[in-house]
Amino acid sequence: MLIHRINMNGHLAVLDINSGAVHLIDETVYDILGVFDGSNDDETIEELKDKYEIAEIKEILAELHELKKEELLFSPEFAVPDTFNEEPILKSLCLHIAHDCNLRCGYCFAGTGDFGGNRAMMSKETAEKAVDFAIKGSKNRHNLELDLFGGEPLMNFEVVRHVVEYARKREVEENKNIKLTLTTNGTLLNDENIKFLNDNRVMLVLSLDGTKETHDNMRPFPNQAGSYDAAVNGFKKVIDSRNGKNYYLRGTYTHYNLEFAKDTLDMLKVGTEISVEPVVGIDEPYVLTEEDLPKICAEYDKLAEAYLDYRHKGIPFNFFHFNVALDNGPCVAKRLAGCGAGHEYYAITPEGDIYPCHQFVGRDEYKMGTLDTGVERTDLISKFRHTHVMTKDACKTCWARFFCSGGCHANADTINGSIDIPYEYGCKLQKKRLECAIVLQAILTDEMNDGSEDLRPVIDNFKYNVE
């Protein structure tokens, strides 16, 4: 497959898979591209001559041949670039500051914080070792990311404070640019920790699922009381304190709130930077079903229309998953590296154990080593490095391969017992939202090219913006 046609709410487009070029098209072109494969002109004319004038078909075919010659359509496949075959260098580390949480979320992949083990807190000593491990592994790379994660990391704020100060000190000593991100449920945010996080340029991922009803249903305290009010109180305070920047509200939708467009738009009461994701699980009542799929796709269409409408009206609403860069997206090597789990990205448990990513924590067969031994399972490094969209059967022929980069390895392992077989349901949702994203950005780009205001989103790789 070399091209992919998209019809989003009647907006028609075609993606040239191997070049990344996108074209907005009309209905006739859309139909022709349903038959035309880059060279079968006669067959295309024969098949569509009853629906369209032959002269019209020929005219369009001539345009399509022109685009093919310019390598903007039917671009051929290419081989794995040499730059990707070099040794991987560490770019990100996820520090499990607290394997404990003060909420009991119904869908928590981390076993409500303990990751299937004991509830534990990372020590200052382990946190320092983790920072040093990350700096050493990053070699000559200037940028380095540290994610402060849990459970709920603010349950161990003393170590958050310590590791942030240590990272900022080491950053100067080693001439690095360390990007810090902290994920929190918001209920423990207070003036003291907010000031510290702001002063130290820590990006925030704030967990919010939508309306109060939706949020409270899945994100209760241990006594089953909902956490919405406490979370939103903290979120509003911290978002306001950083002038509405440097955060993402991040939600999860489940079988219980299939109308998640409503939930997503409700989040605008709290903030404008929003990311909402499907839940993943097995044999649980909240898990999304095949019957849910059409409803979910319709919700993405609704969100896409709202995204476009709000941009035209000047209402701030950044839906992260629709912000796709059509012009200056990542290189092919990056698109193959995908999430980087197990070769460019690791997670460190409170005990100092190393896993391919936070989702793999607690899966013994994926333990890669410890901060004392370093990574011992070099076989796993190689396995993760060389399991990408050009090696996985299901991805090789998928139109979305250079946008999604193969999906989540941990989900693939959870659902299929292998990182070689992607989690198909997740793929379906990923493709739907990518279709929306590509068409939306194509429309906004086209409007700009026609002389209208540039309403495309700013995509800045989660960079902390200093006023």
Region 105-134 residues binding another protein, contact defined as CB under 8 A: 109-110
- 70 vs 192 by CB, closer to another protein: 70
Cα 300–Cα 259–Cα 405 angle in degrees, nearest 5: 35
Lay out the site mask for another protein across 56-75 (x = CB under 8 A, - = otherwise). ----x--xx--x--xxx--x
Lay out the site mask for another protein across 265-294 (x = CB under 8 A, - = otherwise). ----------x-xxxx--------------
Listed ranges 142-150, 151-159, 263-271, 305-313: which one lies at the site for another protein (CB under 8 A): 142-150
Q: Where are the beta strands (DSSP E) in 31-106?
A: 92-96, 98-99
Q: 312, 331 in Cβ contact below 8 A? A: no
Binders of another protein among residues 212 to 271 (CB under 8 A) are 248, 250, 252
- Give min distance, CB of 191 to another protein, in A: 26
- Reading the block at residue 144, the tokens are 């380095």
CA 326 to chain centre: 16
Q: Give the one residue of 175, 223, 224, 328 binding another protein; rule: CB under 8 A.
A: 328
Q: 414, 282 in Cβ contact below 8 A? A: yes
CA 403 – CA 432 distance, rounded (Å): 12
One-letter amino acid of 337: A
- How many residues are recorded in the chain? 467
Closest CA to 317 of 260, 248, 271, 250: 271
Q: Does 454 bind another protein (CB under 8 A)?
A: no
One-letter amino acid of 206: L
Listed ranges 112-120, 125-133, 234-242, 439-447: which one lies at the site for another protein (CB under 8 A): 439-447
SS (H, E, C) 282-302: CCCCCCCCHHHHHHHHHHHHH
Q: Does 149 bind another protein (CB under 8 A)?
A: yes
Q: Give the one residue of 320, 383, 420, 421 binding another protein; rule: CB under 8 A.
A: 320
- Give min distance, CB of 424 to another protein, in A: 15
Closest CA to 415 of 287, 235, 225: 287
- Give min distance, CB of 276 to another protein, in A: 9
Binders of another protein among residues 329 to 368 (CB under 8 A) are 329-335, 338-341, 344-345, 357-359
Q: How far is CA 410 from CA 71, 94, 212, 419, in A?
A: 36, 15, 30, 7
Binders of another protein among residues 160 to 199 (CB under 8 A) are 179, 181, 183
Q: What are phi and psi of 29, to 5 degrees?
A: -65, -40
Q: Does 82 bind another protein (CB under 8 A)?
A: yes
Binders of another protein among residues 410 to 429 (CB under 8 A) are 410-411
- 97 vs 158 by CB, closer to another protein: 97
Listed ranges 15-23, 124-132, 209-217, 292-300: which one lies at the site for another protein (CB under 8 A): 15-23
- Give min distance, CB of 352 to another protein, in A: 21
- Reading the block at residue 228, the tokens are 């919405």
- 20 vs 186 by CB, closer to another protein: 20
Q: What are phi and psi of 270, to 5 degrees?
A: -105, -45
- 123 vs 424 by CB, closer to another protein: 424
